[in-house]
Amino acid sequence: MDNETLLNQVTNKAKAWLEGSYNEETKNEVRAMLNNEDKSQLIDAFYKDLEFGTGGLRGIMGAGSNRMNIYTVGAATQGLSNYLLEEFADLEQIKVVIGHDCRNNSRMFANISADIFSANGIKVYLFEDLRPTPEVSYAIRKLGCQSGIMITASHNPKEYNGYKAYWDDGAQVLGPHDKNIIAEVNRVSSIDDIKFEGNKDLIEIIGSDLDKAFIKEVESFVLAPESIANQHDLKIVYTPIHGTGIKIIPDTLRKIGFTNIIDVPEQNVISGNFPTVVSPNPEEPAALDLAIKKAIETDADIVLATDPDADRIGAAIRDDNGEFFLLNGNQIMLVLTYYLITQRKAKGLLTGKEYVVKTIVTTELIKDIADKNGVEMFDCYTGFKWIAQIIRNNEGKKKYIGGGEESFGFLASDFVRDKDSVSACTLFAEIAAWAKDNGKTVYQVLQDIYIEYGFSKEVNISLVRKGKDGADEIEAMMKNFRTNPVKELAGSPVVLSKDFAKLESYDFNTNEVVTLEMPTTSNVLQYFTEDGTKVSIRPSGTEPKIKFYIEVRGSKVSSAEEIAKNEAEVDVKVSAIKKYFGL
């Protein structure tokens, strides 16, 4: 589509908003975009409709079909209502849960959604105040609901908000339901089709009782209560980064036995403007600066952090010199998975039916740990809905003991069906207590993993490309990679490639093409080299970026001293790979 055609299309679409039953605030914002000589904002606001991706509906807040506002949220809720009424027509009362985080407009979007569901005759359980995403997932199953939504944009910048839709198992919506819901949303051709006038009799406020039940579940899978009792005064600095974690994580840590939780007062302030950080993302080192400063001041053992909706965990630990450093998402998952498997094995809790899950872009060391200990491992796409699908498929047949992804998400038990920083934080604190009880630090536990299973270094790089032009550029990049396949990385030949858009794997040694068994296609490319390097390339489903996931395996190490030397050698390969891709 040429620029003139696109501009005419979005202009007509925007003008329709001036003629519809939209409020004056929205119309004034649309007029301003139409009158602006620079049409880039207009194009980005109207060139498409928000769609469900790996994390649901997510976008910048403002007027427009490609923006998060009361009308796009309203259309999504009306479409979801229509689908629920059709899918569960045999039920006397359809029920949903609604939660929200700390973001600007989150409570408003939650209230509007509650009104729309109730106006459609659907019973609504609305949390009294902000709550973590995993608690919403838990509440859906606990209260016997058919669906639920969480208003959040997770770790995105303050301009964003989002809408996660869940199904009756507490997991984010998968196919065919996701596409069917979108079809219903698309049938909402006018905002006059949206039932904004709620039925207050169908809206029930929930809160502390669910908190207590949730915390009790977390208590139930503690593996080393004696270590927590012995090290109850372990110094734990925790920051919610202005978000929902403050509502439940400190209480959960205390409930399982920890008595020395140190807060970061500046970041306990609940605010959608995230005043102390540029990005409220525990993946970003700067987001933990204040927490690490507090940890140094108080001589703390570990630092824990969560993102605004408290589904992702960040962690900092001390090295052998006593200096704090941040673990990446792969390292957090390594430590958590290693502990869950080895502790269960030590306690005789492994029966041969246990399994763990990781995403395809997460470190392959997870598979090595699982294989060596007789635990099955499943690979899945990025996004916790895929992990939840594996849990659902194995329910009653196999025992899930943990799973996660490199993007700082982990789920330690299947009572929740989304990533859960509440249980992940308590598990990480338990590991720190267990390690200290055994004369070690978490850092030394990580070194033990590298010595037993081999050293690996992971580097993730994202190229941000915003707007319509950015989306086109990312599409062109993926097309180029497919047209000109990678044959060598850092001096090591590619021996295997996987194209999940075609569901094909190509073996360079045998020239064989094998079909990849995955639930659907995904726009992901992977390259595996002779020396164990893995590179994955994936456009984000929720953000305007393309991601490169680099994992380089080192040589075998037999001591902690050899790890540093090994890392230096690996860094040379990482630099070569980054240079190859222009990163």
DSSP three-state, residue 84: helix
DSSP annotation of 520 reads: S
Q: Region 391-402: what's the mean pLDDT?
A: 96
pLDDT band at residue 543 using 50, 70 and 90 as cut-offs: confident
pLDDT at 355 > cutoff 90: yes
Q: What is the mean pLDDT of the chain?
A: 95
Residue 117 burial by Cβ neighbours in a 10 Å radius (0-12, 13-18, 19+)? buried
What confidence score (pLDDT) does residue 50 get?
78
Which active-site residues does the annotation give?
154
State the Cα–Cα distance between residues 185 and 86, nearest whole angstrom: 14
Instruction: Give CATH 3.40.120.10 domain extents, the chain.
Output: 48-206, 213-453
pLDDT at 350 > cutoff 70: yes
Residue 302 burial by Cβ neighbours in a 10 Å radius (0-12, 13-18, 19+)? buried
pLDDT band at residue 544 using 50, 70 and 90 as cut-offs: confident
Q: Region 570-578: what's the mean pLDDT?
A: 96
pLDDT at 55 > cutoff 60: no
DSSP three-state, residue 522: coil
DSSP annotation of 312 reads: B
What confidence score (pLDDT) does residue 249 get?
98
DSSP three-state, residue 86: helix
DSSP annotation of 120 reads: T
Q: Whole-prediction pTM value?
A: 0.94
What confidence score (pLDDT) does residue 56 get?
67
| Fold of the domain built from segment(s) 213-453 | Alpha-D-Glucose-1,6-Bisphosphate; Chain A, domain 3 (3.40.120)
pLDDT at 412 > cutoff 60: yes
- Note the pLDDT tens digit of each residue in 297-330: 999 999 999 999 999 999 999 999 999 999 999 9
Distances 567 to 160, 530, 564 between C-alpha atoms, Å:
37, 19, 5
What confidence score (pLDDT) does residue 579 get?
95
DSSP three-state, residue 493: strand
Pick the CATH number of 48-206 from 3.40.120.10, 3.40.50.2300, 3.40.50.450, 3.40.50.300: 3.40.120.10
pLDDT band at residue 220 using 50, 70 and 90 as cut-offs: very high
CB atoms within 10 A of CB 179: 12
Least confident span in 84-88, 178-182, 236-240, 487-491: 178-182
Distances 134 to 241, 244, 314 between C-alpha atoms, Å:
17, 11, 16
Q: Region 201-229: what's the mean pLDDT?
A: 97
What confidence score (pLDDT) does residue 100 get?
98
pLDDT at 529 > cutoff 70: yes
Instruction: Give CATH 3.30.310 domain extents, the chain.
Output: 456-581
Enumerate helices (H) and strands (E) in the chain, giving the number of each. 19, 23
Share of the chain above pLDDT 90, in %: 87
pLDDT band at residue 189 using 50, 70 and 90 as cut-offs: confident
Let me know: does 508 contact 485? Beta carbons within 8 Å: no
* Nearest C-alpha neighbor of 222 from the set 63, 430, 65, 38: 430
CATH class assigned to 456-581:
alpha beta
What confidence score (pLDDT) does residue 467 get?
81
The residue ranges of DSSP E strands in 152-235, in sequence order, are: 160-167, 203-206
What confidence score (pLDDT) does residue 20 get?
83
pLDDT band at residue 49 using 50, 70 and 90 as cut-offs: confident
- Note the pLDDT tens digit of each residue in 331-347: 999 999 999 999 999 99
What confidence score (pLDDT) does residue 1 get?
61
Cis peptide bond upstream of 225, omega within 30? no
